[in-house]
């Protein structure tokens, strides 16, 4: 499939940002790769790339071409998956772009469960913020996106929505740990740590404090929820996360979580979806179905 090799070469150059970098990833010489690109450009009659002092970038024609290329590669992966499925050999690759909360507990257990029955299926998991996860679907660098409180849903076909109330996370000996649910105003009487503004949990908290004329004054800010969770215990302060990012194992020993009162902070929504209009490869479609069933069994479906 010489044509597929050619379009993979172009895709590799786009991802690397340079012909030299793409050549290294493809295990060919940069001279050979450059000749192949020039040949494709000659066939099209227009340059695909603008040559820069330290790399390349897509031309206007190249932007159109790369969209077509990624659709072609995605379709071929789906066809290969379907052919393998017909032969009874469960093969394929599943690419996931997700919020950070899915990484510590939920996805590792779900991928392990799926691969137990389909050991020839491979996975890639990339942590992306709300906007970048949706863009990964458009770029065909992800089959499935799982995001908390997404920024927009223009290209997103929702497969599952579940409620995720914001929880207060703290050391077991913290004064608020004795409560079943916690008012937001009570939290603000103690030192707090917060995720940065790009995350859904922070978005919900910002809306809540504005509505209640309160003020968030964190002593710690971070884009890493694992750090926030562990630091809260180390310094005996409080932080905020959603249940899917906590897991049963995190709620033992020195750490506990309690839900914020929904009168103060309504539950957010975790969305799982795919690109609108795209037919997923067999492996990705079946894994998405497994995730849907698991989420529905654990959480309140929206």
CA 283-94-155 angle, 5° bins: 100
Domains and CATH numbers, the chain: 2-64 (1.10.10.10), 90-163+269-298 (3.40.190.10), 166-266 (3.40.190.290)
Q: What is the DSSP string of the chain?
A: -HHHHHHHHHHHHHHHSSHHHHHHHHTS-HHHHHHHHHHHHHHHTS-SEEEETTEEEE-HHHHHHHHHHHHHHHHHHHHHHHHHHHTT---EEEEEEE-GGGTTTHHHHHHHHHHHH-TTEEEEEEE--HHHHHHHHHTTS-SEEEEES-S--TTEEEEEEEEE--EEEEETTSGGGG-SSB-HHHHTTS-BEEE-TTSHHHHHHHHHHHHTT-----SEEES-HHHHHHHHHHHT-BEEE-GGGTHHHHTSTTEEEEEBPTTTS--EEEEEEEETTPPPPHHHHHHHHHHHHHHHHHS-B-
What is the CA 166 to chain-centroid distance, rounded?
19
Tens digits of residue pLDDT in 76-85: 777 776 676 6
pLDDT of 109 reads: 95
| Lowest model confidence (mean pLDDT) among 61-65, 215-219, 234-238, 255-259 | 61-65
The larger pLDDT score, comparing residue 83 to residue 279, is at: 279
pLDDT of 157 higher than 80: yes
Instruction: Taking residues 210-228, report their average pLDDT.
Output: 92
Tens digits of residue pLDDT in 31-44: 888 888 888 888 88
CA 287-291-294 angle, 5° bins: 140
As a whole number, the mean pLDDT across the chain is 88
Instruction: Taking residues 1-18, report their average pLDDT.
Output: 78
pLDDT of 4 reads: 65
pLDDT of 253 reads: 66
Instruction: Taking residues 87-100, report their average pLDDT.
Output: 80
pLDDT of 219 reads: 96
pLDDT of 202 higher than 90: yes
pLDDT of 92 reads: 83
pLDDT of 21 reads: 87
Q: What is the pTM of this model?
A: 0.71
pLDDT of 60 reads: 87
pLDDT of 3 higher than 70: no
Distance CA 245, CA 164 (A): 10
Confidence band of 237 (pLDDT split at 50, 70, 90)? very high
């Amino acid at each position: 499939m010489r044509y597929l090799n050619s379009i993979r070469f172009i895709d590799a150059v786009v991802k690397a940002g340079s012909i030299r970098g793409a050549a290294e990833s493809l295990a060919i010489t940069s001279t050979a790769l450059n000749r192949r690109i020039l040949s494709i450009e000659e066939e099209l009659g227009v340059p695909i790339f603008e040559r820069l002092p330290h790399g390349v970038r897509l031309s206007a024609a190249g932007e159109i071409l790369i969209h077509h290329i990624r659709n072609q590669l995605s379709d071929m992966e789906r066809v290969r998956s379907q052919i393998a499925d017909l032969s009874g050999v469960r093969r394929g690759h599943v690419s996931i772009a997700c919020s950070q909360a899915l990484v510590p507990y939920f996805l590792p257990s779900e991928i392990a469960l799926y691969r137990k029955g389909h050991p020839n299926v491979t996975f890639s998991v990339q942590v992306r913020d709300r906007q970048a996860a949706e863009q990964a679907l458009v770029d065909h660098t992800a089959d499935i996106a799982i995001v908390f409180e997404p920024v927009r849903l223009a290209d997103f076909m929702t497969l599952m929505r579940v409620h995720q109330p914001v929880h207060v996370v703290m050391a077991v000996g913290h004064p608020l740990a004795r409560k079943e649910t916690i008012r937001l105003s009570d939290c603000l009487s103690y030192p707090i740590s917060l995720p940065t503004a790009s995350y859904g949990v922070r978005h919900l908290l910002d809306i809540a404090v504005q509505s209640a004329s309160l003020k968030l004054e964190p002593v710690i800010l971070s884009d890493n929820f694992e750090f926030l969770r562990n630091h809260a215990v180390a310094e005996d302060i409080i932080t905020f996360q959603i249940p899917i990012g906590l897991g049963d194992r995190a709620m033992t020993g020195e750490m506990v979580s309690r839900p914020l009162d929904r009168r103060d902070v309504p539950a957010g929504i975790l969305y799982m979806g795919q690109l609108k209009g795209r037919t997923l490869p067999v492996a990705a479609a079946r894994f998405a179905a497994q995730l849907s069933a698991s989420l529905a069994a654990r959480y309140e479906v929206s």
